[in-house]
Amino acid sequence: MIVAPLLPRISVRLDVPEVHLGWLISGYAISLGVCTLAWGPVSDRLGRKRLLMLASALMALVLFAHWWAHSYSAMLLMRILAGAVGGALTTGTLAAVGDYIPPSHRGWATGWIISGFAAGQIFGVPAGAFLSGAMDDRLPFVALGLLMAGAGWLAWRWVPTLPPTPSISWPIMFRDMRRHLASPRLLAGCGVGVCLFGGMGLFIPFFPLWMEQALSMTTQQVAWVFSAGGVAVVVSSVLLGRLSDRIGRYGLIALGSLGAGLFMLVSPLLIHWPGGAFLLFPLIMGCAAARGSAFRALQTELVPAGELGRYLSLSATFENFGYAAGSALAGWFYVAFGFSAIAAASAMTGLIVLVLVRGFLRPR
């Protein structure tokens, strides 16, 4: 999330055409998706605590290395390396919910995890924009590296160590993944993730650039819009994540998708009321967080606990390929057709989610 508001400054410093900017996000997402396939089985074998400690340390090093990204190719390489490590953090964190939290409270737990992501958005994006505008657009990555080092210490200090599990061979792990892909229900779960991430990948990267160009907002104002969106994510994910434990995951996924799609669709109308971005973007992010927390909780219930790491890594691969495809297409859409085309395409992904949930994921 912090990269999107920095894209205009990165574009100027590195002299990057707008059509290529999306690849700084797509490169991260593709790398994350590919490498997550390996991190899932590693998570099942190593255990969540050791994986989170290792991944936090590696991510800190990669983020520090962004300081030496003096060209577009170097920045793209740093984003690819960050994605390779990020897959371990995503898989380890979500699989830990399945390990430590009973099913009756997983919506609550995933809501708090998503609120942590939002807290980074609330404080990190404005701080990153300030550091970028006042000094250098690479400083936010270095600051994040310091936070990741702290996250590694937190994992070492507070994440419980579970008893070792029986070793599973790699052939068995890949056989399980093939079996997951052969299940229409599990494959539909992956498809929902592709649509959720693909829609956000379409919308997020060029929304800040459009606000600066079409709404005449400054980088710091754009950052505050993102911060307001983060507040909405915290409130929505914590409250509605717990609600999904009580009323079920499926309705919340459907309602969140409808809301996010509708608000994305009308976002080009902000040209007539630029200040409305401080209201509309939080509505988009609040709906996205509601469906996201319910969907993450649902994922932990689709397969047995012993297979959770493998299934989550498989699903994360699909999700990040969706995000990468959306981010790459966003650049082309923006240059060729404008932001309205991005908003319409993003909204369409929500309709596909409704079809998949209705046809494959709802209990029969």
Kindly report the CA angle at 66 between 141 and 335, in degrees rounded to 5? Answer: 85
Structural domain count of the chain? 1
pLDDT band at 234 (very low <50, low <70, confident <90, very high): confident
Residue 308 tokens, joined: 């959770």
Would the pLDDT of 240 be above 70?
A: yes
Tell me the C-alpha distance between 55 and 152, whole Å.
8
Q: What is the pLDDT of residue 113?
A: 77
Question: Given the structure tokens 């909405």, which residue do they identify?
Answer: 232
Task: Report if residue 49 sits inside a domain.
Answer: yes
Tell me the C-alpha distance between 58 and 86, whole Å.
9
Question: Given the structure tokens 């509505």, which residue do they identify?
Answer: 283
Contact 310, 177 (CB under 8 A): yes
Full domain range(s) for residue 332: 3-359
Question: Given the structure tokens 């609550």, which residue do they identify?
Answer: 108
Task: Report if residue 364 sits inside a domain.
Answer: no
DSSP 16: -
Task: Dump pLDDT digits (tens) for 278-287.
Answer: 999 999 999 9
pTM over 0.85: no
Task: Report if residue 329 sits inside a domain.
Answer: yes
The mean pLDDT value of the chain amounts to 84
Task: Report if residue 110 sits inside a domain.
Answer: yes
Domain with residue 60: its CATH number is 1.20.1250.20
Q: What is the pLDDT of residue 264?
A: 95
Task: Dump pLDDT digits (tens) for 273-332.
Answer: 999 999 999 999 999 988 888 888 888 788 886 777 778 778 878 887 888 888 888 888
Task: Dump pLDDT digits (tens) for 105-145.
Answer: 877 777 777 777 767 766 776 777 777 766 778 888 888 89
Task: Dump pLDDT digits (tens) for 195-206.
Answer: 998 998 899 888
Torsion of CA 21, 27, 29, 30, to 10 degrees: 140
